[in-house]
Structure 1
Amino acid sequence: MQAVKVTHSLLNLILKIPGIKVNRNDFFQRTFANEDSERLLDEGPLRYFGRAELDRRAELLIKNATWRSSTISFATGMPGGLAIAATLPADTTQFYAVLRLAQELGYLYGREELWDASTEKGRETLLLYLGAMLGVSGTGAMLRVLSSKLSTRVLECIPQKALEQTLYYPLIKKVAAFFGKKISKRTFARGVSKAVPILGGVASGGLTYATMKTMARRLQKELALGLNDTPATLERDLNQLKRLIPPT
């Protein structure tokens, strides 16, 4: 439970970093400036681009984001520019890039705006994105079930408490393990300006260009599977989640 509390506290701090939250409309207008952004937003990326081109755009997005995260151009693009980036270890700036890339991939594959009304909803979705990136079993299925237009009635067959105990909390623990166990309450008491610079130092194994690319492609794969939203695929994902729930 301590790992759960630590991760929630950490994510709450991270979400206070200027620029960490990606606005859906801004993302499309900035990234696809040469496209008809109004039609893109109205039709959605899948209908606008088609499946093959959408996957190609996602690959390009991953390639550009991972490359920028390891260059000075990324540092100058962060809120505060080089003055802030100079105080952050490389792992921290790359983790910043990972969180932004996760949101951008979500929008590209049809997810709605994360931060309109509920920060809690956005935070939980971001945790699922991180879980998928880290290879946590069931997170991809959960993302697809929650976003499926067919799942409203079907979700009633899985108790909410069972989902939390068998999927959500193990996911939180996995994400917490990624950061390591060296973060203390005292660290959080120092505030965002002090906590952010140490994130890279406590990350388990650190983030590199290669690992960031692998993480992004894991999430892309799970999001792409959600484009085929049929009763059969929904049943497949629900069955995967049910297998994670031990019999009572």
Structure 2
Amino acid sequence: MTRYWFGGTPADYTVTPGSGNVVLFAPGATLTCWNAQVGGTQYTDLRNAVGGAVTSVTSGDGVTGPAGATPRFQAPDEVLTLWIDGGTGTRYLMVTTDLPALLAGKISRAGDSMDGDLLLADDSPAASRDYVDARAGGAPSILVFGYGGIVSPRAGVERIYNDVGRPLTIGTVRASAGTGPAGQALIVDVHKNGTTVYTNQAARPTIAAGQQTGTGGTPDAPVWSPGEYLTVDVDQVGTTTPGSDLTVTIVAS
């Protein structure tokens, strides 16, 4: 959990109207923090600039700080905005001064650019720190193996390595053919470091005779660790028509 900083900027001053509505600094004002503009709940779990626990904030008195200046303080965990009340009956919105760093961090994690709306905190899992750390970029990866022309049984030699730095889970594997097999099914197998992920060979991805696509069952060894590689074998083709232009897609997340 993270506490974010508020106050301490040139705009953070307590003021009061003087003669002729001249704005004057209001030193020593007690400021309370709330989660809503009207009503709501007061935040009392605050920290001052040196980490001390406080329930409210006091603007500078001209001795310990500039007259009227709102000192830096921290809100409760994960609070990015709050409403501050100086006792006049009107609350004013304050936004964490850590916001620029938060934005920079999120944009950096998106490859230094983001298309569309940028959402913060938990508004968008694809932009949240926990989701990005856990998913290494968000959506599942789709790996593609392609074999042009007429298909024949073969051992896979083309390798795809897991270089994302964390274990991935192999999910749905789909085999598709531009021309489907006839006479019997076309069957493929996924190997991890040379060993099938389908201990139950009946679960291998299969294109039935007369069809152009089919998926496999749940892999028996789905965990794909960093540094391991995948290959795809063609175990069986059609007898009267082998099938051609085969594509195998593997979902890994």
TM-score, scaled relative to structure 2 = 0.21
Flag the structure with more relative contact order, 1 or 2, with Cα contacts below 8 A and sequence separation at least 6: 1
Is the helix fraction higher in 1 or 2?
1
Structure with larger Rg: 2
TM-score, scaled relative to structure 1 = 0.22
Is the strand fraction higher in 1 or 2?
2
